[in-house]
Amino acid sequence: MRPLFGFLSGLVFGVGLVVSGMSNPAKVLNFLDIAGTWDPSLAFVMAGAALTTYAGYRLAWRRSAPLLHVDFQLPTARQIDAPLLTGAAIFGVGWGLGGFCPGPAWTALPLLAPGTLVFLPAMLIGLWLGSHLRGAGFPTLKGATR
């Protein structure tokens, strides 16, 4: 049952990205272009997502456990450290250059746009390379967990 609900959640998320236009990297890049052809629509999408998340968490915390699992699995790390900031910076630079983050890149794949066909394989190679470097004992930043 969990895989079905996971698939349906991802499907709703993907449809939301397509309907809102966030699978179009030009829309994201126009949001970042404050001095040029600024498009505020991404801010409205983010605000809608924040409000939905807020309401969802208020409802979820009223339950003693999730519907499809034994307990809530929450992250335990609370510190803002070098690995977190480095990862955020790499993500932000990639998002600003390509106009994609992972979710919208997958939803844009059926369009077969050249940018998507470059970004998605590069993202997958980066994920694979990062996991293999960590597994091989490659030095990590101080405070990083394996």
* pLDDT at 44 (0 to 100): 92
Residue 24's nearest CA partner among 93, 142, 107 is: 107
Alpha-carbon span 82 to 142, nearest angstrom: 7
- What is the per-residue pLDDT across 57-103, written as a single tens digit (0 to 9) for each? 999 999 999 888 888 888 888 899 888 898 899 888 888 888 888 88
What is the per-residue pLDDT across 39-59, written as a single tens digit (0 to 9) for each?
Answer: 999 899 899 999 999 999 999
pLDDT score, position 115: 84
| pLDDT tens per residue, range 107-146 | 888 888 888 888 899 889 988 888 888 777 666 655 555 5
Question: How many helices (H) and strands (E) in the chain?
Answer: 6, 0
Instruction: Count CB-CB contacts under 10 A for residue 140.
Output: 13
Reading the block at residue 57, the tokens are: 């968490």
Taking Cα atoms as reference points, which of 9, 25, 2 lies closest to residue 98? 25
Q: What is the pLDDT of residue 145?
A: 55
